[in-house]
Structure 1
């Protein structure tokens, strides 16, 4: 099977919400996504309105070795 050449990935986009690992509620971004999108290495903060926990997640670097 021949390898497929894929186009380079665009900017990483963090989701607008994630599932809270503490109470299984829905956590929302504390700040809206920038218009140009999130970049690898950026940090995105989320807060759960149900239990008030905060989660800071880092956008992973693109994996160039497959």
Structure 2
């Protein structure tokens, strides 16, 4: 998903992201503000995942919104 589209749809995506990654707080998602890299970093931090794994999860998640 294009970065501009991701940021534009962030409010819609945010609720589903909270469902997908329950350890992320609303404050975490507000900090991400539609920034894919920040979302990846938050998933890494909260779940102790490798960067590649977190990126793959985010990409798979975002593919649902195309």
Same fold by TM-score greater than 0.5: no
Of structures 1 and 2, the larger Rg is shown by 1
Give the number of the structure whose residues are more often strand, by fraction: 1
Structure richer in helix, relative to its length: 2
**Structure 2 length normalisation: TM-score?**
0.30
